[in-house]
Structure 1
């Protein structure tokens, strides 16, 4: 790839380009991150330029909005001013009718005196010449006076402001130093920051249904799992419910009843193939391309997800140990950290196919995809669509059924076999990448691999035997 001179552009050893930029200290709380990192998942100069232009513009817009409306913004100054006034028994809200005009005038004099000033003119002159540190203190004094006079009301409930109030509310009575809270807070800031990058730091009462749908589409296209998308949309709905109540807004929550599309390879229906149906579909693979033939075989004998198999790199395959390593790589995400695992391949034909592919593509390097047609962005969706049509054609999938069988049903079949064999739940979870409650599931020790292989071989014999 020719050298590109673009701001904050990074390049991996394999030539994949991305974006890396430090978030300025003053707006980190508003942005919710210390660094902006994004892979453009391509080494093609034209593709990289287009993706960089769009992403860089979004980051610039997000930083500009954060500098003016978050972190050091007027809402923080306003809240600090209200707390200060309340502590001194002075008017702290424009709805406080018990204060007369004379009372408010006296309160202004008290605020000025506490700041060491005798008049509003003196405050105005001080603001004009103050340095940054002193100016922040004087802004607070100026805000207090505007509140006391009844000329300044609570700031509009922008996304960053609403998030801060929600987190403060949920942090009450909790140990905010605990890892689970820190993780919760960081993730919620990330979600809102991502929304702000797409639509700006809007007043929540002006966020439209179209904005919400646009963000949903963005999450789905960015290859988050359906479960992750559902959680993020659910949080946005909860935050808006909180904000609408807090600011006494009676509008309709734009995040309500948004439908999250569940891809076939992320199907949660739990529908399984019968063992005989698995044998039937494996006998009819001649009608699909060679990539799909090998993918479907691996799905059947490992119980892995379609996206995990489509995203294999050559370096993920160990033909000495007869295993595949399912990990985060340049091709695809994984559902969660527990999905990172080493899986034994117990079918001889699947192993032979993997060996042939490694010999065929090894010159491209260890990061090259095992399945070139589908080892790319949204490749698993293409594979899912093609396999869905094939399953329908061979009459193993009824599209009109309440819960149609899909390629993901192979995963449920494998799980059924493990259960029928009485394989311990923790070991089954380790094989399939579910939360096992055991740190050993993150690693590939020889003892654990042997236990996995024994369970997988017995399951495969039960299914295919």
Structure 2
């Protein structure tokens, strides 16, 4: 059994290899339940199938226990007892009959459909990075099932159910940003089920709003010029120092920089170096709009040159620029190390993090009057109007000009934007 399975509460594997859900009934409810534990066979040896069935069993057990707490009704009737004397939720007992009537996919089924549809996308990740992403999707569906009071069919969901899910997340204490993320993931999972099973309905999570005033409370704050100086002087390893330099001079996301390969570093006909931010063997991008070219200012170019000189192995286009972090889970490791260093030097405001550097670059560009479409092109944000998709986009020279003018507002990032003709990058 994998280590991650061993850490999931209530999930066990019998000596025959079959997964089951086993949970002790709380002492205060034992009298009402009439049994000391909930035991449900998931009827599979497959890890993939067990995942969805576990979520369903857990949601139904939660709903049953909640009902007991609310009503303290008599113990379950004998018809609800399994052969071994352990309680089985009535809804699970009725599952074969429900399937026989060709009912539509449930919310848990939607997760299975989503994971199958995105199999190739998830195949790009390994180990902990893969498990983090899978657990995220399972957690969202678990929240949704809990907010619905059980595992309902997708076609029965309404806008009111989506709003109830949003309110459920708020009551759990999630930030506005986390609520938005959960809503987006739930909507994406349901969208696959709606399309694959050709369900005639609108996605109830589409464009579900979270109050702006709540979102503003959780907004990231940009770092000040002095804080940028402090960040660039953090006591971290060479790779992280170069990553920080590139973050300040490009306004890119941490994952975009940490995932660079040497083939992404190019030189224009005018002689200036730039980076191609695109999906590669190391990492994928957040959105389609994230694919872009960003010019490198002289300080970033020099930092990369020093890093290259200090690395002994031969350089090939597909090799990562940052070997420690150009891997599955690497950006998470870089973020953790940088956040630890950030807090160690006294930048403790919870609204300020490594990602605040990106906000700082955006603010600096805005302050010098850089047009919004150029800001979006530099940082990989989707253009607001369809007219922005005409043409070939903004030239590297135009973006370099604005980044150079913004550099003085970013402390140490005020290095010259003039290309370095001597660089061998």
Deviation of 1:222 (Å): 3.6
Equivalent residue, structure 1, for 2:327? 376
Distance 2:228 2:358 in 1: 11
**Aligned partners of 1:301 and 1:460 also within 8 Å:** yes
Report if the CA contact (8 A) 1:340-1:442 is conserved: no
Unaligned runs of 5+ in 1: 1-56, 66-150, 164-187, 198-216
TM-score for the superposition, normalised by structure 1: 0.46
Q: Comparing both structures, which one devotes a greater share of its residues to helix?
A: 1
Q: Does 1:407 align with 2:330?
A: no
Partner of 1:98 in structure 2? none
Structure-to-structure mapping, 1:237-276, within 5 angstroms: 243=154, 245=156, 257=169, 269-276=219-226
**1:152 & 1:439 partners in 2: Cα distance?**
46
Equivalent pairs, count? 263
Shift of 1:416: 0.5
Q: SS of the residue aligned with 2:395? A: helix
Distance (whole Å) between structure 1 residues aligned to residue 266 and residue 116 of structure 2? 40
- Check conservation: 1:306, 1:380, Cα contact below 8 A: yes
- The 1:432/1:161 distance shift into structure 2, 3 A limit, reads closer
Deviations 1:107-151 (A, max 9, x none): xxxxxxxxxxxxxxxxxxxxxxxxxxxxxxxxxxxxxxxxxxxx9
What does residue 436 of structure 1 align with? 383
Match in the other structure for 1:304: 252
How far apart in 2 are the matches of 1:298 and 1:152?
55
Give me the CA root mean square deviation: 4.8
Alpha-carbon distance change, 449 to 196 in structure 1, aligned in 2, over 3 angstroms: closer
Q: Point out the structure with max Rg over C-alpha.
A: 1
Distance 1:375 1:152 in 2: 46
Change (3 A) 1:423 1:389: same
**C-alpha distance in 1 between matches for 2:257 and 2:238:** 14
Spell out the pairing of 1:283-302 with structure 2 (5 A cutoff). 284-285=233-234, 287-302=235-250
Could you tell me which residue of structure 1 aligns to residue 295 of structure 2? Answer: 344
Find the counterpart in structure 2 of residue 221 from structure 1: 132
What is the alpha-carbon distance in structure 1 between the residues aligned to residue 139 and residue 403 of structure 2?
Answer: 32
Contact persistence 1:294–1:353 (CA under 8 A) = yes
Structure 2: unaligned runs, 5 residues or longer? 1-45, 54-97, 121-127, 182-214, 415-425
Alignment of 1:34-45 (within 5 A): none
Match of residue 306, structure 2, among 356, 360, 375:
356
TM-score by length of 2: 0.50
Match of 1:277 in 2: 227
Aligned residue in 1 for 2:114: 191
